[in-house]
Every structure is written in C-alpha cells, then in structure tokens.
Amino acid sequence: MTAHPVADPVVVTGAGGFIGSHLVEALAAAGHRVRAFVHYNGAGTHGWLDTFSPEQLADVEVVAGDIRDRGMVQRLVDGASVVYHLAALGGIPYSYLAPQSYVDTNITGTLNVLESARSAGTGRVVVTSTSEVYGTATTVPMTEEHRLRGQSPYAATKIGADKLAESYHLSFGLPVVTLRPFNTYGPRQSTRAVIPTIVSQLARGTGAVELGALRTTRDLLYVTDTVAAFRAVGMAPESAVVGRVFQAATGQETAIGELVRRIAAMFGSEPQIRVSEARLRPADSEVERLVGDNRLLRTATGWQPVATLDDGLKATVEWFLDPANLARYRAERAV
C-alpha cells in the first residue's frame, strides 16, 4: 500500500511517556522533525526524553505544557501536519481515587487537541484509545465492533475521548483516526503495569511476587509493534484510515499467572506468587479477558506484529536489569 506523504513537523503529545517516547524516537530516526509535547513540571524534566542523546534530539523540538490548557495546545498544533495524541492520565487504580483528574486530562485534553486541530486545519489526528474501553470480552477475538463498557473511571474517560474523536470527524470532517492498542509492554513502561511489576520484584530477589488477579488474560503487544501501528495509521492513504477505529493486537492471550512463570524462567527462579488484596480491582471492575482481532488494521495498512512474546519479554527483562534503568524506578509500589 502506498504511504501518504507526511510533511513536517509532526506532533506527539505525551512524548515523555512510555509509548510516546518510543514513538518520538522512531519518528526522529525516520527523518521527521518532531514537536514533542511533555507535561510541564517545576523540575524541568521531560520524562524519558531526558535519557535521549543530543543526536536523538537533533530534530526534536521539546515543548513543555499541559494538555488541559487550550491555548497551549493550539500553539502546539499550529503548523503541524499530523498530530499523534498520546497524552493521557493512565493507571487504573489511581482512577478510583481521582476520577476528576482523568476527566480533565483524558476527555478535556482530547477535546483541546481536536478543537485545536480543527482550527489549524491539521491534515490528520491520530487519537490513542485502549483495549480497556471494551471491558471483559463477551466474544473473542474482540473486533472493533465489540461493545464498549466502562469498568473503571479510566476506561470511561477513554470511551469519552474516543466518542469525541468520532463526533469531530462526523460533525466537522476532521481527519481523525483512532488507534486502539491492546496491552503494550517493553522498556520504559511504568511499574504500575504488570510486566514491569513482575520484573522489578524478581530483580529484587525476594523470592516472592505479589500481584492481583492471576487468571485474567491479556493480549500483549511489544512496544515497537505498537509504534509501528501508530506510524502505519499516520502515513496510510486518507481513504484507507480516516474516520475509522483500528485495533493493534497480536490475537493471542496470556494469563497473568502464566506470564509470571515465563518471566521467572528467564531469571532461573520459581518464585512464590502471592495475591495481594491491595492489587485487586473491585470485583465488577476487573477485566477478565482481552484478546484482539487485528485484521482490520492489517488490511488497511499492511501492519502486523513482528515481536514474539518470548523475544519481547527477553528484551524487556534485559532492559530492566540494567542498573541504570532499574534505578529510575521507586522500589515501593505506586498507585
């Protein structure tokens, strides 16, 4: 399929985060001028972009601000050809404690991006969704037509953002694409996520791993494949992708208990697995099963996942075991 030519600069919101930093890295390596939007803080830090070399940042303009500030977002978007909107407040447990923060960031922040892109005449906006919008699978593999169910405040705000994106395309003709990755993992991921949680606990050598539900299953997608999906929908011909929702998934599911065993084998250990009440979601909020169908994305763009689960886990473990990387994480569990 012939790629749609992308003029520069391109914008990445949430650029200092896990997936956003990998996307910035890939776009810059491909020769794009990137405007990378990071969350402003008093320390002046730029998230994972602070670990990039000067050469990696040569064609990257780092802009610090707040996705909730409409005027800031408008200045960010003006003149951009493509906006990859990844900025969001993640972490399901924290959404039980601070739901207003999720509404402000995930819904109002997305509204600011859409309205700014509409005003600026942006050529394409790629909005980041999540498989959490589905809740527990009712049919498998899950397609883009699966019903939406907000089983956590986080999921509800992502559903709201998805529907705003849909409305801006249908109401105003804004060229929006919604990408819905399943469970992305890899280097730089927060230890709030299950794989870094397992790896960091095993790396401390305590002989035990504390987790929440063990029978839940997830469709695990290595971060380079997720980034490739973003680039695919950002560059595909307009007729192939605009106004549509696409899943990035492997089509395979792995139970959390099995995941622990596979990662522990890389450490040569057999840890005691403990279920921690503090790590369990409320009963009706737990998403028991997620496994996605990627045929729509493959057909529209030619994208397909490349990394096997074992290869992705091996690369992730190796990255976390680098003392310089592990030192960037707090030993205690964050919400």
Average pLDDT over residues 292-305: 98
Name the residue with higher pLDDT: 257 or 296.
296
Which of the two residues, 197 and 141, has the higher pLDDT score?
141
**Residue 27, both tokens:** 């776009």
Cα(54)–Cα(233) distance, rounded to whole angstroms? 28
User: Is the per-residue pLDDT at 221 higher than 80?
Assistant: yes
* Residue located via tokens 């840890």: 271
- Return the pLDDT at 331: 53
Find where tokens 């601070």 sit. Answer: 98
Strand order of the sheet with strand 82-85? Answer: 60-65, 34-39, 10-13, 82-85, 124-128, 176-181, 245-248
Gap between the Cα atoms of 113 and 71, Å rounded: 10
Distance of CA 330 to the CA centre of its chain: 21
> How far is the C-alpha of 187 from the C-alpha of 184, rounded, in Å?
10
- Whether residue 315 contacts residue 244, with contact meaning beta carbons closer than 8 Å, is answered with no
Tokens of 74: 């408008």
Alpha carbons 37 and 198: distance in angstroms, whole number: 30
pTM of the model: 0.95
What per-residue confidence (pLDDT) applies to 166? 98
220 and 182 Cβ atoms separated by less than 8 Å: yes
Q: What is the pLDDT of residue 209?
A: 85
Select from 15, 116, 1, 100 the least CA-distant residue to 56. Answer: 15
Whether the per-residue pLDDT at 334 is higher than 50: the answer is no
Q: How confident is the model at residue 332 (pLDDT cuts 50, 70, 90)?
A: low
More confident position, 330 or 185: 185
> Which pLDDT band holds residue 205 (cuts at 50, 70, 90)?
confident
Residue with tokens 């697995």: 273
pLDDT of residue 1: 65
The domains of the chain, with CATH numbers, are 10-184+221-251+291-306 (3.40.50.720)
For the stretch 31-85, pLDDT in tens is 999 999 999 999 999 999 999 999 999 999 999 999 999 999 999 999 999 999 9
